[in-house]
Amino acid sequence: MIKNYLKIAWRNLMKDKTFTLINVIGLSVAFGVAILLSMAAFYDLSYNSIHENGDRIYQTYVTQQTPKGPEAGTSQAAPFAEALQSEVPGIDKITRFLEQEALTTYKDKEINLDAVWVDSDFFEMFTFPALKGIENNPLHDKKSVVVSENTANMLFGSTEAVGQIVNILIDNKEVPFTVASIVADNNAQNTLEFDMAIPFENHAGYAESMETWNSQYHQVYLKLQDGVSPQQFEQNTRSFVELHYQEGIDNLKRDGAVADVDGLFLQLKLLPLKDVHFTSFRKGYAQVSRVVPYLILGVAFLILFIACVNFINMSIAKSAQRLKEIGMRKTLGARQKQLFFQFWSESLFVFIASVSIGILLSVLFIDDFKTVFRTNISLEIMTSSKVILGFLVMVLLITLVVGGYPALLLSRLGTIQSLKGKLETSGSNRVRNILMVVQFGIAILLISGTLVLWSQVFFMRNMDLGFNKEQVLSFPIDGKKNSYEAIQLLRNELAGNPNILSVTAADNNLGRGKDGSQFTSVWGFDYQGRGVRTNAVTVDYDYLETLGLELIQGRSFDKNYPGDVQAVIINESMAKELGEADPLSAFLPMSDSLRSPIIGVVKDYNFQDISRAIEPLTFFLDRNSGLYYGFVKISSENMAKSFNDVERAWKKIEPQADFLGSFLDENVDRTFGREKRMATMITSGSVIAIALSCIGLFAMSMLIVAQRTKEIGVRKVLGASVTSVTVLLTKDFLKLVFISFLIASPIAWWFMKVWLENYAFKINLTVWFFAAAGILAMVIAIFTVGSKTVKAALQNPVKSLRTE
């Protein structure tokens, strides 16, 4: 019996190859896209899942109530970890964690490695499989380091790495370390990536800060003991906070801060490791958001849903040609169950073929997908037993529902009704219309999202940030030379080049450079009986001039004024924070004995991500602090040659260092890579959704025209024009698209409004975004339906009247 079902199903599918091909193409594309998007989403959602004890590992962070509202951050002081472990019960393991590049030398090789400075518990807490060397606690010796397999190959080649001595530049001195262990290369889904791990006690400046609680510059991770909940641990830390942060709490009360709902001004809290990748502290608390991966899954689901709706509608459209076959089968004794399985087996054939082709498409286009969406997904994600089982169950359910509905509809037709060739589908018409409204509603929603997202990206890319981003080149200052000496040598090398306008440096980059790093330094102090916090940037001479920052009061740092090394320059927001009528008359307390005069005020500019409001900023000319990024302003003529000139000059100064130069507009672009990724994803989803919706709309026009063929003939005999017949057949579709627009637009507006609230600088959400989406959907619908309806209107009425 089953063999017979399959034979007949295959024959029926091959009888109308066009219908079968359209269904297979639509479903195959939908399955292929859905598989790729789902892989990307599950890849993101699995961040930090590789660590065996990840469910018991947490990152510490502090929340405090300030006069301006809540603030939160993960930076901790050097003595914090040791004191927390000894004073608060419930900790199994704990480690400090600081990411900072380390210039590493082995024989004639000199490489700047991505290093992490950690405690010995680090490798006991996190899962980094040891390939060679010491497996347990490899950092027990403070002069040992752990390297990744790739790092070992770069440094030592075929030489055995374990036991080799490398020199690491720390505080301008080369310090020898022994390689104790080699671990597997870091998983890209791990937020704790590194090339080399170094004992924390060796970090520059640790000796001076090991007892200092007001110098917070690293993160702390801990592993709780079995049976200890994070809520219980947080409750236990209150006495710890009162002991070590009392001065800060008193200052918050003094400045007028309001306690939180628990009556506290400062709290120590825990963030689960699985949430670290998805957490932002912009609003003063840990805001965990998995919007991007869930949005990707949502787009995958919507595309698959549209394709399934198309299949249902096209199956119903096709069914009008098989009514007499159904009537004949019922006359010969076929039962409803037999008819159901007959039609469902045809759907099963289509779905099996579509899923197979979809999987093949995902394999063929995975590399292109990874390039477009900047993801590191691999086919291994789909090879786990859970994923395979879940995929099979999902396909089976889709086949039962999507293929079963048309099969059930056809199998329930009466014998006489079928033999007459009449398909009374008032109930199915309602279902069909609802599905079509949902289908085009999804398309309009995606189109609206695309327009808003790209408009915001365009706005961020082209807004005036307050500094020269097109003609300024930035690069990391890597190498053994003192950073101030290296920058001065670079000035000397480029002095005779007419296209080089100025050279400077700072301890922080603008945007995100090719090295991928972003750094923020915040300085707090008491000013006139209240607490003041400011972002701090150490700069070299010519910084304001190189970046084109606008001075609104005072002057810039000047080499002719030796006292400027103790002076500061502030931005407008910092001037407002100080509240002085004349900020140039104010002095900032650097210490009990040193007060720094303010010599200039610059106009506010976006020195952080564009999504953030401009905060107070202070520039220092501190020769005791290092410079980490160089900046070169070049003329607008022959910029490519100027770039090469800077690279050659830097290679001459630091021949072993990589030159990772990029223009500031590129750096700024990298800061909203997530937005561009979302915009690209939704744009792609919109195009596919519209294409699939057009297939569904074409199926609808086939069904309507087939049902109204005789009516069209009668109207034409009675004198109806081609235009009036076309309008008659088209207006019902346009009504459904218009209803879709009315439903989808408010939903799209709400989603986009909520999303734009994350940005301090954003576009105005006008009605034209949604009107454009609706008009575009309407135009596409007219062209799609018009191809079928015009052909029906032009048909000879005699031929139409012969059709029964």
285-315 pLDDT tens trace: 888 888 888 888 888 888 888 888 877 777 7
pLDDT of residue 791: 62
pLDDT category at 603 given cuts 50, 70, 90 is very high
Least confident of 37-46, 193-202, 684-693: 684-693
Contact present, 602 and 552 (Cβ < 8 Å)? yes
- Say which residues have a Cβ less than 8 Å from residue 766's Cβ, sequence separation at least 6: none
Supply the mean pLDDT for the chain. Answer: 82
CA atoms lying within 13 Å on the CB side of residue 123 = 27
Least confident of 118-132, 516-530, 606-620, 662-676: 516-530
- Decide which of 381 and 489 is more confident: 489
Q: Cα(735)–Cα(126) distance, rounded to whole angstroms?
A: 59
pLDDT of residue 363: 87
pLDDT of residue 371: 82
Mean pLDDT of 704-728: 64
pLDDT category at 336 given cuts 50, 70, 90 is low
Helices and strands (DSSP H and E) totals, the chain = 27, 25
Contact present, 405 and 311 (Cβ < 8 Å)? no
What 8-state DSSP symbol labels residue 212? -
Q: Would the pLDDT of 97 be above 60?
A: yes
Residues pairing with 165 in the sheet: 178
Mean pLDDT of 526-533: 84
Q: Cα(331)–Cα(480) distance, rounded to whole angstroms?
A: 92
- Decide which of 602 and 713 is more confident: 602
Q: Cα(722)–Cα(794) distance, rounded to whole angstroms?
A: 6
In the structure encoding, which two tokens stand for residue 194, read together? 């590194």
| Dihedral angle, C-alpha 277, 281, 286, 290, nearest 10 ° | -40
- Say which residues have a Cβ less than 8 Å from residue 223's Cβ, sequence separation at least 6: 53, 56, 57, 58, 91, 92, 93, 94, 121, 125
What are the residue boundaries of the structural domains of the chain, listed by start? Answer: 54-287, 438-463+672-804, 479-657
Please count the other Cβ atoms lying within 10 Å of the Cβ belonging to residue 294. 13
The closest alpha carbon to 444, from 756, 747, 785, belongs to 747
- Decide which of 586 and 794 is more confident: 586
- H/E element holding 60? strand 57-66
Contact present, 85 and 64 (Cβ < 8 Å)? no
- Say which residues have a Cβ less than 8 Å from residue 173's Cβ, sequence separation at least 6: none
pLDDT category at 215 given cuts 50, 70, 90 is confident
Rounded to two decimals, what is the model's pTM? Answer: 0.82
pLDDT category at 709 given cuts 50, 70, 90 is low
Full DSSP string of 331-372: HTT--HHHHHHHHHHHHHHHHHHHHHHHHHHHHHTHHHHHHH
Contact present, 477 and 630 (Cβ < 8 Å)? yes
In the structure encoding, which two tokens stand for residue 155, read together? 């440094």
In the structure encoding, which two tokens stand for residue 320, read together? 């009008």
Contact present, 289 and 278 (Cβ < 8 Å)? yes
What 8-state DSSP symbol labels residue 539? B
In the structure encoding, which two tokens stand for residue 551, read together? 């001075």
Residues pairing with 475 in the sheet: 630
The alpha carbon of residue 764 and the mean position of all alpha carbons in its chain are separated, in whole angstroms, by 23
Q: Cα(466)–Cα(547) distance, rounded to whole angstroms?
A: 9
Q: Cα(365)–Cα(377) distance, rounded to whole angstroms?
A: 12
Least confident of 240-244, 288-292, 576-580: 288-292
DSSP 3-state of 106: strand
Exposed, middle or buried, 162 (CB in 10 Å: 0-12/13-18/19+)? Answer: middle
Mean pLDDT of 672-683: 79
- Say which residues have a Cβ less than 8 Å from residue 311's Cβ, sequence separation at least 6: 23, 26, 27, 347, 350, 402, 403
Share of residues in the chain with pLDDT > 90 (%) = 27
pLDDT of residue 348: 75
- Say which residues have a Cβ less than 8 Å from residue 219's Cβ, sequence separation at least 6: 59, 60, 74, 75, 76, 96, 97, 98
In the structure encoding, which two tokens stand for residue 541, read together? 């001479």
